[in-house]
Amino acid sequence: PVLVREDYDIRFNWYGGSPGDGIPNDNFSIKWERMAYLDGGYYRFVASVDDGVRIYVDDELVLDGWREQPVTEYSAEFFARPGHHKFRVEYYEEGNVASIRVRLERR
């Protein structure tokens, strides 16, 4: 990835622009990582993205939309035991519009 960030919310629309200084408007990637506590139970990630996205929980791939595409919404459900979990979201932008929005819902 060109940029590694920890943001409280992953909700960005750069339109045709760049996510940061020195990063081109197209052909870039970003990785977000964080640890968070979850109560036990079922959860669902919902991602709306233009172009590619992958989401991992404890290094296990739970959502895979890694392709060039217009804005597309994905969702993936997973079970979590109570405790701290590692989350990783990977994103890439091929061209034109650059946007990503990810949310986590308890089921």
What CA–CA distances, in Å, run from 48 to 10, 38, 51, 61, 83?
10, 22, 9, 17, 27
The three-point CA angle 69-74-77 to 5° equals: 155
- SS3 of 85, please? strand
As beta bridge partners, residue 96 has: none
Q: What is the pLDDT of residues 53-106, one digit of tens each?
A: 999 999 999 999 999 999 999 999 999 999 999 999 999 999 889 999 999 999
Q: Which domain holds residue 29?
A: 3-106
User: Given a cut of 70, is residue 25 above it in pLDDT?
Assistant: yes
User: Given a cut of 70, is residue 5 above it in pLDDT?
Assistant: no
Q: Are 105 and 41 in contact (CB under 8 A)?
A: no
The pLDDT value given to residue 78: 98
Give the mean model confidence (pLDDT) for residues 40-65: 98
Q: What is the spatial distance between Cα 30 and Cα 10, in angstroms, rounded to a whole number?
A: 11
What is the CATH number for 12?
Answer: 2.60.120.260
Q: How many domains is the chain built from?
A: 1
pTM summary value: 0.93
The DSSP letter of residue 24 is -
